[in-house]
Amino acid sequence: METATSNQSLITIMDDIKSSKSPAVINYGASWCGVCSQTFPAFQELSNSFKRIKFVYADIDECPETTLHIRYTPTFQFYRDGEKVDEMFGAGEERLHDRLWLLS
């Protein structure tokens, strides 16, 4: 799993995702978000189950300029062939698993 630690690192990660044929998921969260803290361990565990998918975590407070479009945490965005193909808001390990299965 990769972590975006700044606006520049998220830009670099997004460039990699958009130029790749590999599927990817980005988890946009925040350190102060209780739901994010609850879902993060499951996100990490799922990254071990779906090896072909690139997993990325981005804290909206560490990447404020590049996450202005995020209105709810957690937000999960799913990419295939460099294009966003799905988005999920809120918690739900089973929902997340199902979307990852469809993406893989």
Token pair in block for residue 27: 């988890």
Active site residue 63: no
49-86 as b/e, with b when 16 or more CB fall inside 10 Å?
ebeebbbbbbbbebbeebbeebeebbbbbbbbeeeeee
Vertex 8, ends 83 and 39: CA angle to 5°? Answer: 65
Each residue of 33-89: pLDDT tens digit? Answer: 999 999 999 999 999 999 999 999 999 999 999 999 999 999 999 999 999 999 999
The pTM (predicted TM-score) of the whole model is: 0.94
For the record, the structure tokens of 16 come out as 């990699």
Selecting among 14, 36, 60, 70, the annotated active-site residue is 36
Q: What is the pLDDT of residues 2-49, one digit of tens each?
A: 999 999 999 999 999 999 999 999 999 999 999 999 999 999 999 999
33 as an active site residue: the answer is yes
What is the Cα–Cα distance from 78 to 76, expressed in whole angstroms? 7
